[in-house]
Structure 1
Amino acid sequence: MIEKLYSWRFELFLSTQLSILFGSLFMPSTWFENWMMPIFLLLNIAFGVLLVAKKKKLFRFMLVFLMISVVMAVMGFVNSGIENRVDYFKLGLYFLFYAIVTIEIIKQVWKAKIVGKNVILGVISGYISLGLLAFFLCISIEIISPNSFSGIVIIPGVNTDTTEQLMYYSYVTLMTIGYGDILPVTPIAQKASVFIGLIGQFYLVIITAVVVGKYIQHNNINAKY
């Protein structure tokens, strides 16, 4: 079963990532945030575990992580007023998970000899994972040091919250768009924002160059024959 799913690992992982990012476009925001996003997040973690299925020790570790995530998700559904300490623990685990998965995706892309569908999907998934890493970093900063980001506004009559706005800010910063509607105002938030922008640029420059180089090299070899 795992062997069959492994060949679809990038498709499954990417589809759940896109569901996390854009699911609120197709359903009420409050309902999505409270119910569907935790489910999509668990599915994304499950498919992230699939990415490391060929590394036995890491696979076992990630399975344990998945079980802990399921328990925490159930606790969140049962008790929405869960203690902050549990929230900190959850955010730390998610950050660790996406850091491991992003590194694993980069390794698989780097080691690939042929630029095919999996490599392209892997590059996209890796970039989105960096955005989720940035999101967990920003929301952790906001929880630990409230009001670290200015411009986060709850608009009356509009279903939006801090989580959704920090998700938006994380990706806008990763892509170095910088609209300026949300600003980091504390030193730690400012340093985190610089770090996110740098990581996004390094990923695009280095990983894209590697993939393009492999593609050109493969085409040159085929042309000789």
Structure 2
Amino acid sequence: MVKAPRNIVLAVRSSGKPFHFLLAALLAQLVASPFLTGEGAGVLQDLIFLILLVAASQVARHSRLYPLIMGLTALCGVCVLAKYLYDGEGPSQLSDALGVPVIFLTAVEMTRYLARQRRVDLDTVLGGLCVYLFIGAMWFTLYSLVDRLLPGAFDYTVHTRPIMTREHVDRLLFFFSYITLLTTGYGDIVPVAPVAQTLAILEGIAGQFYLVFFMARLVGLHVAEKQEAQEPSAAGRRQPGR
């Protein structure tokens, strides 16, 4: 038996269905976010998402990138706390800048783990959906960073920008990211700056490419395995009739 290289040997918790719980937690945070308001709500959401990232990165505990992922996650967590404790845009910009590679590396390691599975079950397919949600979160972080560095990069049309708080802007960019990922495009938020437009194009391409190629492959393998498992039992039921 050939031993896999250390950098691609990925460990999963022995719960049997780790991605079931991770997807449920991600969706729960997504659904609960509109109801988490007031002082401290922002830091709570950020910390919850960082915890989810740490949980997702556990599939890569034996990867060479794992120490880098955890180190960047720790720095990102410090910056998230700092942006709520200190005034100024510096901590916020730094937390966004660190958040992008953290989410990206976590999504890459999860994708590598899923792509190397010999047996594709429902949990593997749900893991693919977790990566899809992380893609939307990564682009939201990019949009937030661009909006901080280039005021006016987005036109909020029906939303009145002069009276919006930073929290409100981030909620709209979060919404815009997933709408762009799904290629729905309601048009209430419009990227104006060239860099924002390019990011929107790349997110649309990434979302469609991921669904058409990677998710379709996982679902196809899952369906094929179920059919193969059903064929022996069906043959056994036909045997006595001969």
Q: Deviations over 1:110-130 (max 9, x none)?
A: 222222232122011011001
* Aligned residue identity for 2:19: F
SS of residue in 1 equivalent to 2:184: coil
Q: Distance in 2 between matches of 1:117 and 1:126?
A: 15
> What amino acid is aligned across from residue 115 of structure 2 in structure 1?
W
User: Is residue 141–residue 148 contact of structure 1 (8 Å, CA) maintained in 2?
Assistant: yes
Aligned-residue offset at 1:25: 3.5
- In our comparison, the structure showing a higher alpha carbon Rg is 2
Pair 1:13-2:22 in alignment: yes
Query: Structure 1 stretches of 5 or more lacking a match?
Result: none
What is the RMSD of the two structures over their aligned residues, measured on CA atoms? 2.8
Which of 4, 28, 41 does residue 49 from structure 2 map onto? Answer: 41
**1: distance between equivalents of 2:164 and 2:205?**
36
1:207 Cα deviation from its structure 2 partner: 1.4
Equivalent residue, structure 2, for 1:213: 220
Q: Secondary structure at the match of 2:65?
A: helix
| 8 Å CA contact 1:12, 1:47 repeated in 2 | no
Q: Identify if the C-alpha distance between structure 1 residues 192 and 162 changes in structure 2 by more than 3 Å, giving closer, same or farther.
A: same
How many correspondences in the alignment? 220
Aligned-partner SS, 2:119: coil
Q: 1:70 aligns with which of 74, 77, 81?
A: 77
Distance in structure 2 (CA, Å) of the matches to 1:167 and 1:157: 15
Unpaired segments ≥5 residues, structure 2 = 1-10, 233-242
C-alpha contact 2:23 2:126 (8 A) present in aligned 1 = yes
Q: Does 1:186 align with 2:193?
A: yes
In structure 1, give the amino acid aligned to 2:127: G
Task: Give aligned-pair identity as a percent.
Answer: 21
Q: Does 1:128 align with 2:133?
A: yes
1:30 counterpart SS class: coil
Does the 8 Å CA contact 1:91/1:140 hold for their aligned counterparts?
A: yes
TM-score (norm 1): 0.84
1:161 matched residue in structure 2 = 168
Partner of 2:155: 150
CA distance in 2, matches of 1:168, 1:36: 19
> Is contact 2:57–2:109 with CA below 8 Å preserved after alignment?
no
Match of 2:179 among 169, 172, 175: 172
Task: Flag the 1:32–1:169 CA change in 2: closer, same or farther, 3 A.
Answer: farther
Distance 2:73 2:219 in 1: 34
Q: 2:23·2:130 contact (CA, 8 Å) conserved in 1?
A: yes
Q: How far apart, in 1, do the equivalents of 2:104 and 2:28 lie?
A: 20
**Residues 154 and 189, structure 2, Cα contact 8 Å, conserved in 1:** yes
Change (3 A) 1:117 1:149: same
TM-superposition CA deviations, 1:184-225 (whole Å, max 9, x none): 112111111111111111011011221132124323433453
TM-score between both structures, scaled by the size of structure 2: 0.79
Greater mean deviation of Cα atoms: 18-27 or 96-105: 18-27
Q: Would the aligned equivalents of 1:154 and 1:160 in 2 still touch at CA under 8 Å?
A: no
Question: Residue 109 of structure 1 aligns with which residue?
Answer: 114
